[in-house]
Amino acid sequence: MKLKDQFYTSLCLLVAFIVLCSHDLYIKMETYFLQPNQQATLSLYNGTFEESENIITRDRMLDASVVAQGKRVAIQPAQWKDQDSTITALTFNTGEAGTYVAGVSTKARNIALTADKFNSYLKHDGVLDMLEQRTNDNLLNQDAVESYQKHVKAIYQVGDTKTDDWKTVLDYPIEFVPQVNPYETYSGEKLTVKLLLEGKPLPNQLVYADYIKSAHTHSDHTHEHTGKEHSHEHQHEDGSHSHDHDGKEHSHKHTHEDGTHHHHDDKPKAEAGHTHTSGQQLRTNDQGIVTVNLPEEGIYYLRTIHMVNVTDNKELTHQSKWATLTFEVTHKHEASTHTHDDHDHEDGMPTWIFIVGSLLVIGLLFLIFRKKS
């Protein structure tokens, strides 16, 4: 038994891992700080934030645009190039200084999943509300046919001039909209981001936020999440990613209509060193806002999957809308080394220190004048 069984077990685990990974879509850049009028590349990572597994075919794109200086310019399908079998990229000239927004919105597609695979995907992709609902409704044995669509944004800074384009709403079915300019928010601070579903704030929605250290400032991609007792290594740039799923292998094993969506596996991703729900697990408040901690400089990415049951369509059981947002955070560039600790002092100390200090001074002066009089 031993050798044959071990082989099959290993093969099953490998296949299982590959299939279980769903594909998030991100707009990724080597750095989100660019100089005016330089050549830059914006890549669509369809897989994880660290490694893309599939290209995005142009016919899938409902919209691809860049917003700058108050103008929204469409990215034409012909401008995209497939860098290889896994990454679709756009090489462009950055143009004038300002804060830019890039967005890509994809068409809805369907996928059929067995109950087990669907449950695993919900668990490992952090669609926990739907999983809980299925559990409570005793529907864990129900297979699923899901319609999914992905709507992704990135905000990048060209030069030093900050413009207001960062808050542009691209009118995607679901999208993240920062409440302040991420490029006027610095490491050690927090960023509030609103999640819109069909243009309206989406309350009580799970959002995951994580980051990697900026490639241009740190060669080592290992990081720790303060206070979260969590760490993981990113060792992908050189192709040595521990996840064994390159595009070709994946396409052979996959028979979904575009080969770009959910991949199923029974092996928890955490065991393989990665999960789609790493970092901060947040939930939007009544105004659809999450507050993201920015503990250190790096490239941050937010992701969410909003899923609902479908009752008015015979073909579908569920519909999901996926959103991601990426941006880069740096430390505050000030001669005074204005740190987070300074803010803490500002927040916590002034009132009582000022009052006590003032009372002491007045008391001292009072004693002096009383003695003199």
For another protein, the binding residues (CB under 8 A) are 167, 179-181, 189-190, 192, 285, 287, 289, 291, 335-336, 343, 346-347, 349-351, 353-354, 357-358, 361-366, 368-370, 372-373
DSSP letter for 83, please.
S
What is the token pair recorded at 140?
Answer: 């864990």
Closest distance to another protein from the beta carbon of 97 (Å): 19
Closest distance to another protein from the beta carbon of 104 (Å): 26
Residue 49 CA: distances (Å) to CA of 3, 129, 284, 303, 344: 36, 23, 22, 10, 32
Nearer to another protein, 81 or 343 (CB): 343
Closest distance to another protein from the beta carbon of 347 (Å): 5
Closest distance to another protein from the beta carbon of 351 (Å): 6
Long-range CB contacts for residues 256-260, cutoff 8 Å, separation at least 24: 256/111, 257/109, 257/110, 257/111, 258/57, 258/60, 258/109, 259/54, 260/23, 260/46, 260/54, 260/56
Contact 261/109 with Cβ under 8 angstroms? yes
- CA 355/CA 222 separation, integer angstroms: 46
Nearer to another protein, 277 or 330 (CB): 330
Single-letter amino acid code for the residue at 184: E
Contact 106/80 with Cβ under 8 angstroms? no
CA atoms within 13 A on the CB side of 228: 17
Q: CB neighbours (10 Å) of residue 68? A: 21
Torsion of CA 246, 251, 256, 261, to 10 degrees: 20
Closest distance to another protein from the beta carbon of 370 (Å): 4
Closest distance to another protein from the beta carbon of 373 (Å): 6
Nearer to another protein, 314 or 352 (CB): 352
For 228, phi then psi, to 5°, come to -105, -5
Q: For residue 273, which of 240, 227, 226, 238 has the smallest C-alpha distance?
A: 240
Closest distance to another protein from the beta carbon of 357 (Å): 4
Cα dihedral sign for 95, 75, 163, 99? negative
Three-class DSSP category at 163: coil
Nearer to another protein, 12 or 367 (CB): 367
Cβ-proximal residues to 322 (8 Å cutoff; 6+ apart), any chain: 24, 25, 148, 149, 150, 151, 152, 174, 303, 304, 305, 306
Closest distance to another protein from the beta carbon of 369 (Å): 4
Nearer to another protein, 4 or 372 (CB): 372
Nearer to another protein, 160 or 237 (CB): 160
Closest distance to another protein from the beta carbon of 162 (Å): 11
Nearer to another protein, 7 or 366 (CB): 366
Nearer to another protein, 273 or 348 (CB): 348
Nearer to another protein, 273 or 357 (CB): 357
